[in-house]
Amino acid sequence: MPSRLTAIAIDGVTTAQELDRLLALGARLADVGQPADVSWVVLADPEGNEFCLLSRPVQEL
């Protein structure tokens, strides 16, 4: 099974700001069947590798 990178925004940066930064770097939104009400965003890098941007650390989920 392939692994998936997970990212969170660092202190002082909102999730929306980090999402904008990642999109500007070439990431694109990805639909892997996640429901609309999840607390993360699934993206794919320019090579198609999927990763998740969490709204908070995994320990808090």
Residue 12, domain member (yes or no)? yes
40: closest CA among 25, 48, 22?
22
Which candidate, 46, 48, 41, places its Cα nearest to that of 7?
Answer: 41
Cα dist from 33 to 10, 38, 41, whole Å: 27, 11, 12
Query: How do residues 13-47 score in pLDDT, each as one tens digit?
Result: 888 899 999 999 999 999 999 998 888 899 999 99
Q: Which residue has the higher pLDDT, 3 or 37?
A: 37
Instruction: Examine residue 11 and state whether it is found in any structural domain, yes or no.
Output: yes
Please state the separation of Cα 50 from the chain's center in Å: 9
Q: How many domains does the chain have?
A: 1
Q: Is residue 16 part of a domain?
A: yes
Domain of 37? Answer: 5-56
pTM over 0.85: no
Q: Dmax over Cα atoms in the chain, in whole Å?
A: 34
Kindly state whether residue 61 falls inside one of the protein's structural domains. no
In a domain, 31, yes or no: yes
Q: What is the CATH number of the domain that holds 16?
A: 3.10.180.10
Assess if residue 9 is contained within a domain: yes
Residue recorded with tokens 């909102």: 14
